[in-house]
Amino acid sequence: MEKLTPDYKKIYTDLIIKKYPDKLGLCTSLLQKNNLTILDIFKLNQIILEDEDQNLWQCNQKHKSYNKETVLEILEYQIKNKLNDTELSVHFQLSRTTISRWKKVFVCV
């Protein structure tokens, strides 16, 4: 049975049109893609929520989940951009422990 994934393109398009119409121009290039990657979703979140308060940010942090493809994409981003674990954790707002655990599980370091 194939897993169904949310239609992030539709979700973010509706969200931007209804709540953040002033940011539509900044997000257009990302929303024109056929399939949004996790990195695209992170960029959209940064654009949309750049002015939001700290409490909302903390609430959003609690509900993150990552599949294997996403984890591998984040780890590839680290290699491509020559980032250490600390720099990657700051960029994606993850803990260094999470990144280390992912490396052990998915990369078999």
Burial 66-95 (b: 16+ CB within 10 A, else e): eeeebbeebbebbeeeebebeebbeebebe
Q: What pLDDT does residue 39 have?
A: 82
Q: What is the largest CA-CA distance in the chain?
A: 45
Q: What pLDDT does residue 62 have?
A: 60
**Could you list the mean pLDDT of each consecutive 10-residue stretch along the chain, which spans 109 residues?**
77 90 89 85 82 59 74 92 93 89 82
Q: What pLDDT does residue 60 have?
A: 60
How far apart CA 94 and CA 75 sit, in angstroms, is 12
| 43: its two tokens | 């960029």
Residue 16 located in a structural domain: yes
Residue 81 located in a structural domain: yes
Same structural domain, 12 and 56 = yes
Same structural domain, 57 and 75 = no
pTM summary value? 0.61
Same structural domain, 57 and 84 = no
Q: What pLDDT does residue 61 have?
A: 60
Domain that holds residue 36: 8-62
Residue reference for tokens 């393109």: 9
Same structural domain, 56 and 79 = no
Same structural domain, 49 and 16 = yes
What phi, psi does 20 have (nearest 5°)?
-135, 55
Give me the number of domains the chain comprises.
2
